């Protein structure tokens, strides 16, 4: 793969950043990224970022909701949006010849949305159904339950979808005020990947972006607890066929120097089909259909988690196996072969994702938010290949050697019994 980079960046006077990566393609993927999410909310407005994201597609002074949907379809590509703990994104992928139209449409919904009360009343029911759907999906809900417990007392504990009582009471003025206070120029990134000329792309956006005025000060985000969350358990008892459980401990921030070592540790523990948890619990013993480990990394903190969906009768054995594998990571060095396999897996996934223009566009924005610069894939691959067995052992001791594990469970489970089965979280 060529090492020649075609990434360019322009920072406007008001702080908006525009980043492009030119690649040989008939497609262009472009997105507006705002450093705003559920972390920027409190109990009184939790769900505002997500509600606002929905409303950006519900009408402007130039287009009603149906026209917006129709024009996105006519552009011939795809469009979508999402809200997370720290970001909101509005994006589309179109043929390169349709780029001016895509910019005009995205910019119009971003700057000119009306937040009409009639549309809010309609969308309120959609969002309440979305919240109810998660409540009815225990393998999704348990992750919210875990995050809320792990970050309790901090805005990171907020759900992205929000509190039903906030959604039920939302009005246009509240949403407009939220966007006005949070959607600041210094928090906005415009990114694009594909057959895009950087200078022309910047000029397409200038009529929209130059009118934004940077505030004198951008409020700082509330830092998370230094402990990364207490070791504790929360349970929702339901008459289900399976117990759904997430357990985890403090991880790393997205820009940590040890992020590549932790990525490899996660791969070895439960990140793919050849991982230790998948092989020991599912393949060798057939105790679970779904078992995996995963990482959540925010701008200044994170956690490492393990998800289990198992028959209640099997939970004691499965928890013993998880406890054993966590202990092994920080008491026994992984083999050279296991490390090499993990490196190959992570590296291959990175390069395969690079074939997708949307993934490249997303990567541009996230690198800018996390590191303030573009990071070439070759640089990442080189850093991954430098991770040693000793690096993994030392990091595993810091991450998985803790007895401060947090757990969340949904299903036919009693809190006292679960604590007993896991040995009170001792690892």
Distance CA 111, CA 208 (A): 8
- Provide the b/e sequence for 212-248 (b: ≥16 CB within 10 Å): beeeeeeeeeeebeeebbebebbbbeeeeebbbbbbb
According to DSSP, residue 220 is labeled: P
Q: Give the angle subtended at the CA of 396 by the CAs of 392 and 402, to the nearest 5°.
A: 170
* Cα distances (angstroms) measured from residue 206 to each of 11, 17, 103, 195: 11, 11, 11, 19
Distance CA 258, CA 302 (A): 12
Query: Which of the residues 35, 53, 86, 243 is marked catalytic?
Result: 53
Distance CA 339, CA 304 (A): 19
Distance CA 7, CA 376 (A): 9
Task: Establish whether 53 is a catalytic residue.
Answer: yes
Distance CA 422, CA 164 (A): 33
Q: Among candidates 244, 250, 269, which has minimal Cα distance to 404?
A: 250
> What are 94's two structure tokens?
């179109």
- Assess contact for 155 and 222: CB atoms under 8 A: yes
* Residues labelled as active-site residues: 53
């Amino acid at each position: 793969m060529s090492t020649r980079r075609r990434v360019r960046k322009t920072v406007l006077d008001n702080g908006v950043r525009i980043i492009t990566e030119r690649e040989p393609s008939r497609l262009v993927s472009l997105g507006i990224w705002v450093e705003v999410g559920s972390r920027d909310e409190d109990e009184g407005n939790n769900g505002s970022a997500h509600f606002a994201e929905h409303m950006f597609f519900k009408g402007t002074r130039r287009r009603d909701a149906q026209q917006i949907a129709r024009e996105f379809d006519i552009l011939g590509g795809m469009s979508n949006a999402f809200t997370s703990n720290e970001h909101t994104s509005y994006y589309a992928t179109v043929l390169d010849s349709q780029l001016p139209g895509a910019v005009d449409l995205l910019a119009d919904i971003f700057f000119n949305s009306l937040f009409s009360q009639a549309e809010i009343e309609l969308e309120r029911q959609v969002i309440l159904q979305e919240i109810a759907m998660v409540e009815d999906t225990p393998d999704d809900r348990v992750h919210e339950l875990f995050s809320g417990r792990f970050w309790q007392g901090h805005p990171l504990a907020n759900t992205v979808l929000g509190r039903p009582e906030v959604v039920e009471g939302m009005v246009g003025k509240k949403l407009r005020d939220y966007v006005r206070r949070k959607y600041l120029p210094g928090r906005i990134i415009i990114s694009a990947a594909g057959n895009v000329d950087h200078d022309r792309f910047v000029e397409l956006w200038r009529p929209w972006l130059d009118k934004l005025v940077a505030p004198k000060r951008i409020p700082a985000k509330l830092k998370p607890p230094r402990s990364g969350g207490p070791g504790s358990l929360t349970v929702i008892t339901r008459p289900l066929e399976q117990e759904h459980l997430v357990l985890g401990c403090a991880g790393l921030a997205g820009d940590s120097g040890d992020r590549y070592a932790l990525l490899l540790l996660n791969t070895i523990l439960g990140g793919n089909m050849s991982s230790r948890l998948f092989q020991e619990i599912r393949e060798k013993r057939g105790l679970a259909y779904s078992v995996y480990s995963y990482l959540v990394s925010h701008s200044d903190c994170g956690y490492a988690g393990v998800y289990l969906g198992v028959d209640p009768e099997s939970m004691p054995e499965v928890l013993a196996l998880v406890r054993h594998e966590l202990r092994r990571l920080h008491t026994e060095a992984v083999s050279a072969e296991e490390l090499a396999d993990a490196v190959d897996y992570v590296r291959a996934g990175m390069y395969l994702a690079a074939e997708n223009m949307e993934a490249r566009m997303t990567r541009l924005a996230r690198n800018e938010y996390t590191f303030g610069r573009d990071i070439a894939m070759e640089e990442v691959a080189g850093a991954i290949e430098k991770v040693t067995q000793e690096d993994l052992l030392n990091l595993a001791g810091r991450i998985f050697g803790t007895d401060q594990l947090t757990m969340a469970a949904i299903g036919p489970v009693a809190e006292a019994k679960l604590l007993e089965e896991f040995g009170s979280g001792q690892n």
